[in-house]
Amino acid sequence: MKPPARITDVARLAAVSTATVDRVLNQRTGVRPITVQRVLKAAAELAYLPVDDLHKLKASKRLHVVFLLPVSNKFVRMLGDTVSYSKEHWAPFNVKCQVVWIESFNPEVLARSLLRYGKRADGIAFMALEHPAVREAVQLLADRCVATVTLVSDLSNSRRDAYVGLDNRAAGRTAAYLIGRFIGPKPAKVALIAGSRSYRAHGERESGFLHLIEEMFPAIEVVGLREGQDDIEKNYRQARALLKQHPELAGIYNIGGAHDGVARALKEAGRQHHVVYIGHGLSSDTRALLIDGSMDAVITQNPQAAIFSCVRIFTNLRDRRDVLSGVETPRSQVIFRENLP
């Protein structure tokens, strides 16, 4: 039988002082979250305290959750606003939420931000970019017991704890079905505009779209995908170039955001009521475009439900419940002008 562990053993394994271990185990303030996690992990490994006592220490602490969101389209801005406006809703869960805006489509910035805010946060929700640097950052956070949840766009082959968002392949198939039904059985050309294939969500939407077009609407030709980085001016130029190259273009599927740019190109060409235009994310811009007829349909999800699901997942992890306990599967909604909420 090994002799029982002492506080000095916990301090040595956690690479902190015995005073720090004492502060953590007696729930006193002044210790960074990452250090708290390290001490609790060491105490668990050494069986310094009974499992139930360690669980109580973890469950009773207040969670600091950071939402890392890209400065991107208006729907993402709505997600951030939801976090800021819903502080009173997190109080019963003993959670403090913070929004941090970062540069879009830059995996190095995202990876650095994950590691930076992971030093003082218990959990981070973020829109993932498919990149080795991002995957490695998530791996390091997992090693430090910092939970991560991917939001809207997932990260493959990673140690993230959960994903909150739509089945993006199904969303792309839905867009293809809508465009195909709007156009009908006649031969036609349609085009796709994405924010970036660096988002797994955008790649999955593209894949789902192409597969359903091939399955159900063989007379429709997809004339390529262009990336607009969710930038209004870039999307405007991309849409204008597509309309010039294909004057008979019958449909556009905007996989990402910045819908105003595509709509402006359609209006300038006098094609806004002739080209079927499908996009994502119900917000102030897409709402206005649905009303004036520039867009035909918007595939969306509830931003409040998405943020609440993230918070629920972090508290489940803290309280040692099943990670998806009480978390509803996100449902996509198709919004037309006539059923605007």
Same domain, 20 and 78: no
pLDDT tens for residues 196-215?
989 999 999 999 999 999 99
Judge whether 339 lies within some domain.
no
In this prediction, residues 38-61 reach a mean pLDDT of 76
Give the C-alpha separation, 295 to 85, whole Å: 29
What does the pLDDT read at residue 60?
A: 62
The rounded distance, in Å, linking the Cα atoms of 302 and 131 is 27
Q: What is the CATH number of the domain that holds 142?
A: 3.40.50.2300
Q: Is the confidence at residue 178, as pLDDT, over 60?
A: yes
> Parallel, antiparallel, or unpaired: how do β-strands 188-194 and 333-335 relate?
unpaired
| 313-335: average pLDDT | 91
Q: What is the pLDDT of residue 56?
A: 65
Average pLDDT over residues 60-72: 88
Same domain, 144 and 112: yes
pLDDT tens sequence across 226-245 = 999 999 999 999 999 999 99
In a domain, 184, yes or no: yes
Question: What residue ranges in the chain does DSSP mark as E strands?
Answer: 63-70, 95-102, 123-126, 147-151, 162-164, 188-194, 220-227, 251-254, 276-280, 297-300, 333-335
Residues 193 and 228 in one domain: yes
* 278 and 191 share one domain: yes
Structurally, how many domains does the chain consist of? 3
Query: In this structure, are 30 and 87 located in the same domain?
Result: no
Q: Which domain holds residue 72?
A: 63-165+302-330
pLDDT tier for residue 38 given thresholds of 50, 70 and 90: confident
79 in the same domain as 93? yes
pLDDT score for 58: 63
In this structure, is residue 144 part of a structural domain?
yes
Q: Which of 33-47, 51-65, 258-272 has the highest mean pLDDT?
A: 258-272
Q: Does residue 336 fall inside a structural domain? A: no
Whether 273 is covered by a domain: the verdict is yes
Do 239 and 275 belong to one domain? yes
Q: Which two tokens stand for residue 255?
A: 């996989």
Tell me the C-alpha distance between 14 and 188, whole Å.
64
Question: Is 340 within a domain?
Answer: no
**Domain membership flag for residue 232:** yes
Same domain (yes/no): 160, 174? no
225 and 254 co-located in one domain:
yes
Q: Are residues 206 and 223 in the same domain?
A: yes
Q: Within this chain, do residues 316 and 202 fall inside the same structural domain, yes or no?
A: no
**What average pLDDT does the chain have?**
92
**In a domain? residue 57:** no
Is the pLDDT assigned to residue 49 strictly greater than 60?
Answer: yes
Q: What percent of the chain shows pLDDT beyond 70?
A: 94
Check whether 34 has a pLDDT greater than 60: yes
pLDDT tens for each residue of 110-131: 999 999 999 999 999 999 999 9
Specify whether 253 is located in the same domain as 236. Answer: yes
